[in-house]
Amino acid sequence: MANEEALIEIRKGLDSIDNKLLDLLDERMKLVHKVGKIKAQSGGAIYRPEREKSIIDRLDNINQKNGGLLNRSAIEALFLEIFAISRNLELPENIGYLGPKGSFTHQAAESRFGAMSSYVSISSIKGIFKELESKKIKFGVVPIENSSNGIVNDTINGFTNFNSKIVAEVILNIHHTLATTCDKIEDIKKIYSKDIAFDQCRKFLNNFGLDEVELIPVESTTKAAKLAANEPNSAAICAHVAAKLYNLPILFENIEDKDNNKTRFFILSDFENSSSGNDKTSILVKFPDEQGVLVKFLNDFNNANINLTKIKSHIVEGDSIFFIDFDGHKDDENVKRVLEKHQSSIKVLGSYVKEIKDI
């Protein structure tokens, strides 16, 4: 009886806190609405990743000093959703992602823009760049690289041919499941998935004898889940969210060969970020046909104390192009000097808040 009374009192306390949280959130949204009006008049950008990072940094520091129970990940999860709701109150905007619904790119988009945003599934990376340029969408989410399969060429081609800016990056852990209506693995006669997912789960397929069944590549793991949900004796290698979308039971989880399989995504738009103090910049470089030009270029970065974190070469329409990441913001004085020196060779893709994790 005493325990029951104690629970009732605790629940009353929780209800009281929830009521206060609701009042405080409503008060925050009213202030957000005022900000939205000002930005609408001035044409300012609604999504400011550097501002969101500074808020989370500040809250995390306060929480650590106070000995709070929430870790940084929990604070981010709570406040990124609050930020997303706030943006939708300010100015609802379409977010295009490489579809279909339930794809990893959709998951990456929702991790930054929340569940309540207006999403548009677009069937190709080129299509995302085109719709951004035509202003039909305000933001686009595209994959740029995977830890197992490298750089996404279609995204590099998009940067070459269009002028959208990188405003944020998202690093997503990629986990695959084997989902099927079959009760036993021996009953599976065919498996649907993307060709890249088959490659990432090769050891699992071999270990369970599934390399002997028919492996059918399709354009997305979401479509794989849809097909497997409707065909007896079939299965899908797909994301957990795709299996859930089609009520497809999961037989095995986390079947990817590498535990650290990650994909990096870019959020694209038509504005540029101000400096956050912890930024990364991405550029494309097409060098003139001169001996030693790459070495001279790299030396200029080294002499300016700029840390190059990635350099990848690509062939685009017969030309050799380098995709380069480095620490710093394009408006930092040491960065500006190097960029201005090589401005005829460089296309700046954007400066954005650096994720804590990289691939």
What is the CATH classification number for the domain harbouring 295? 3.30.70.260
Tell me whether residue 88 is in a domain: no
| pLDDT per position as a tens digit, 63-97 | 999 999 999 989 988 888 888 888 777 666 789 99
Amino acid (1-letter code) at residue 273: N
| Statement to judge: residues 311 and 243 lie in one domain | no
**208 Cβ contact list (under 8 Å, min separation 6):** 185
Q: Dihedral of CA 336/338/340/343: which sign? A: negative
Check: CB of residue 222 under 8 Å from CB of residue 238.
yes
CATH code of the domain in which 227 resides: 3.40.190.10
Tell me whether residue 28 is in a domain: no
Rounded percentage of the chain residues whose pLDDT exceeds 70: 96
| Statement to judge: residues 285 and 221 lie in one domain | no
Q: What is the pTM of this model?
A: 0.79
| Statement to judge: residues 283 and 226 lie in one domain | no
Domain of residue 293: give its range. Answer: 274-354
| pLDDT per position as a tens digit, 88-140 | 776 667 899 998 888 889 989 988 888 778 899 999 999 999 999 999 999 99
| Statement to judge: residues 281 and 345 lie in one domain | yes
Tell me whether residue 262 is in a domain: no
Q: Which of 252, 283, 307 marks a domain boundary?
A: 252
Tell me whether residue 50 is in a domain: no
pLDDT of residue 276: 87
Which whole number is the average pLDDT over 228-244?
A: 94
The CB-side HSE value for 223 (13 A sphere, CA atoms) comes to: 12
- Whether residue 176 has pLDDT greater than 90: yes
Tell me whether residue 294 is in a domain: yes
| Statement to judge: residues 306 and 341 lie in one domain | yes
Tell me whether residue 81 is in a domain: no
Tell me whether residue 32 is in a domain: no
| pLDDT per position as a tens digit, 88-101 | 776 667 899 998 88
Q: Residue 148: helix, strand or coil by DSSP?
A: coil
| Statement to judge: residues 195 and 245 lie in one domain | yes
**pLDDT tier, 335 (very low <50, low <70, confident <90, very high otherwise):** very high
Q: Which of 243, 194, 246 is nearest to 220 (CA)?
A: 194
| Strand blocks (E) in the chain | 94-98, 118-122, 139-146, 150-151, 165-173, 177-180, 190-193, 214-217, 234-238, 250-252, 262-269, 279-285, 308-316, 319-327, 346-353
| pLDDT per position as a tens digit, 193-212 | 999 899 999 999 999 999 88
Tell me whether residue 224 is in a domain: yes
Name the strands in the sheet holding 308-316, side by side, starting at the edge strand that comes first in the sequence: 308-316, 319-327, 279-285, 346-353
pLDDT of residue 126: 97
| Statement to judge: residues 281 and 239 lie in one domain | no
| Statement to judge: residues 241 and 282 lie in one domain | no
Alpha-carbon distance 97 to 122, whole Å? 6
Check: CB of residue 247 under 8 Å from CB of residue 281.
no
Alpha-carbon distance 99 to 324, whole Å? 27
Rounded percentage of the chain residues whose pLDDT exceeds 90: 63
Cα Rg, the chain, nearest whole Å: 24
Domain count, the chain: 2
